[in-house]
Chains A and B, each alone.
Chain A
Amino acid sequence: APPEWDWRRKGAVTKVKNQGMCGSCWAFSVTGNVEGQWFLNRGTLLSLSEQELLDCDKVDKACMGGLPSSAYSAIKNLGGLETEDDYSYQGHMEACSFSAKKAKVYINDSVELSKNEQKLAAWVAVKGPISIAINAFGMQFYRHGIAHPLRPLCSPWFIDHAMLVVGYGNRSDIPFWAIKNSWGTDWGEEGYYYLHRGSGSCGVNVMASSAVVD
């Protein structure tokens, strides 16, 4: 892996979104990943619809939570994702109104990624932003800087929030992951969370995944 990487600088990341009062982080994490994959494979950055997943992914539970693995399947089975403009976010579940004609992107498959953070970094640098899930300990009060909670306080066994790794690097010799959150730009560092890299902090490495676009 190169020593640092940031997909934001390469135009692969849409603006920070806001999930509102709804536990739909899984949808934002997955659409963020698909946005990146589509950009890297097709050269166009499109902001994609989370609402489509809330309404039409019947395996996941909309605002009550969901799993990226099921969301990839739903996108594949539905026949793609519409754009944010065509199927805009409401923050609560509504009747599915997906139209295959309006789908702008598709995915072919999804893969689980290595738990080795060095390999994850290499994957990110070559393949694009990845969906991850972590224990959100402390994030309610996070403002800025690189978070590195004590392991017993932030166990990798209590994963409860999904986000999108968009890059990595070092700040004053402290290695970090740059993670796009979906709580709006008025949280964290303009909507981003920075987490210690290399120590399995908060289980950042346990649920990494990505869609595959051929």
Chain B
Amino acid sequence: APASPEFRAAGVVGWEPPTRELLGPARFALDAYNRGRAAGTRAVLGTVRGRVRRAGQGSLYSLEATLEELSCKDPMVCQLPVSKKTLLCSFEVLEELGKHMLLRQDCGPVDIKVTDVRNETFNSVLPLSSREPFPKEFSVKIASAFKNFVTTYNRTYESKEEAQWRLAVFTRNMVLAQKIQALDRGTAQYGVTKFSDLTEEEFRTIYLNPLLQEQSGKKMRLAKAVGDP
């Protein structure tokens, strides 16, 4: 089911304080991330946002969290001031009968320089792995494409922060679509679709079917090929 409003909204820097419900699975994911790390080098939880889907006695949490970790792993040899490294992580945590299970973890560095909330160009809300911001011309084109997208697919966002966050997602997706386009060997065209404001995580969680990967359903008999006697 779609996330309730309390789980929506907010951009990278404008995230609302995590609800109590998200904190349990987020801490569980953090513990999993820190497993095997020495004390003093463990990451700490920054911001958390996410959504939850329920079925029966289970809940599937799709979380996006920032983790802070010291860029210098050994405090004895670190030069001051010690800088912090921020990671943007996607986690999928399944909770069933009070027990948590980490289904997916995907972390990458965030360029803090481009996540300044005061700057409202959409470069400013992008957590980029690349340190180069997009050229201004690209930003203008994307902003226009996003405006068309919002009109075409009748999108409404609950807050300015959410709109800003969705613009950031849309921008990342357009770059991703270009990459997919470049790597396609057929005649397919990739670009703006009605799913363009969803993160890959959201798209997979909402629209796809993870059970198919297991392929452990009932064994069916093999069909005779047509034309076989």
Query: Number of contacting residues on A, CB 8 A?
Result: 70
Asked whether any CB of chain A lies closer than 8 Å to the CB of B70, the reply is no
Which B residues are CB-close (under 8 A) to A62? 55
Per DSSP, chain A at the interface is: mixed
Bound CA span A174–B186, Å: 8
Interchain CB contact (< 8 A) of A187 among B58, B60, B193, B216: B193
The answer on a CB contact under 8 Å between A60 and B221 is no
Stretch at the interface among A8-16, A42-50, A108-116: A108-116
The answer on a CB contact under 8 Å between B225 and A122 is yes
Which A residues are CB-close (under 8 A) to B80? none
Asked whether any CB of chain B lies closer than 8 Å to the CB of A172, the reply is yes
Interchain CB contact (< 8 A) of A70 among B206, B218, B225: B218
Asked whether any CB of chain B lies closer than 8 Å to the CB of A148, the reply is yes
Bound CA span A59–B217, Å: 9
Asked whether any CB of chain B lies closer than 8 Å to the CB of A25, the reply is yes
Asked whether any CB of chain A lies closer than 8 Å to the CB of B74, the reply is no
Query: Number of contacting residues on B, CB 8 A?
Result: 51
Which A residues are CB-close (under 8 A) to B153? 186
The answer on a CB contact under 8 Å between A196 and B186 is yes
Q: Shortest Cβ distance from A25 into chain B, in angstroms?
A: 5
Interface set, chain B 171-201, CB cutoff 8 A to A: 173, 176-177, 180, 183-196, 198, 200
Q: A63-B1, A73-B218, A140-B200 are in contact. Are A174 and B191 (CB under 8 A)?
A: no
Q: Shortest Cβ distance from B173 into chain A, in angstroms?
A: 7
The answer on a CB contact under 8 Å between B217 and A145 is no
The answer on a CB contact under 8 Å between B189 and A143 is yes
Which B residues are CB-close (under 8 A) to A72? 218, 220
**Interface readout for B1-42 with A: 1 if CB under 8 Å, 0 if not?**
110000000000000000000000000000000000000000
Asked whether any CB of chain B lies closer than 8 Å to the CB of A147, the reply is yes
The answer on a CB contact under 8 Å between A148 and B220 is no
Interchain CB contact (< 8 A) of B176 among A93, A141, A161: A141
Q: A63-B55, A111-B221 are in contact. Are A142 and B212 (CB under 8 A)?
A: no
Asked whether any CB of chain A lies closer than 8 Å to the CB of B79, the reply is no
Interchain CB contact (< 8 A) of A147 among B55, B60, B186: B186
Q: Shortest Cβ distance from B203 into chain A, in angstroms?
A: 5
Bound CA span A122–B53, Å: 41
The answer on a CB contact under 8 Å between B223 and A64 is no
The answer on a CB contact under 8 Å between A111 and B209 is no
For B94, the closest partner residue in chain A by CB is A64
Which B residues are CB-close (under 8 A) to A70? 217-218
The answer on a CB contact under 8 Å between A147 and B188 is yes
Q: A123-B225, A183-B207 are in contact. Are A142 and B188 (CB under 8 A)?
A: yes
The answer on a CB contact under 8 Å between A123 and B210 is no
The answer on a CB contact under 8 Å between A140 and B226 is no
Asked whether any CB of chain A lies closer than 8 Å to the CB of B119, the reply is no
Which B residues are CB-close (under 8 A) to A123? 223, 225-226
The answer on a CB contact under 8 Å between B210 and A141 is no
The answer on a CB contact under 8 Å between B53 and A25 is no
- Max chain B Cβ within 10 angstroms of own Cβ: one of A149, A150, A172, A184: A149
Bound CA span A146–B186, Å: 5
Which A residues are CB-close (under 8 A) to B212? 26, 65, 67, 133, 159-162, 207
Which B residues are CB-close (under 8 A) to A21? 1-2, 206-207
The answer on a CB contact under 8 Å between B217 and A23 is no
Q: Shortest Cβ distance from A96 into chain B, in angstroms?
A: 14
Q: List 5 A-B contacts (CB under 8 A).
A: A25-B209, A143-B189, A161-B208, A186-B194, A206-B215
In the A-B complex, the 6 residue pairs with the closest CB atoms: A148-B186, A69-B217, A67-B217, A65-B211, A111-B223, A65-B209
Q: Using a CB–CB distance below 8 Å, which chain A residues touch chain B?
A: 19, 21-26, 59-70, 72-73, 92-93, 109-114, 119, 122-123, 125-127, 133, 136-138, 140-150, 153, 157-162, 171-172, 174, 183-184, 186-187, 194, 196, 206-207, 209-210
Q: Using a CB–CB distance below 8 Å, which chain B residues touch chain A?
A: 1-2, 53, 55, 58, 60, 153, 173, 176-177, 180, 183-196, 198, 200, 203-223, 225-227
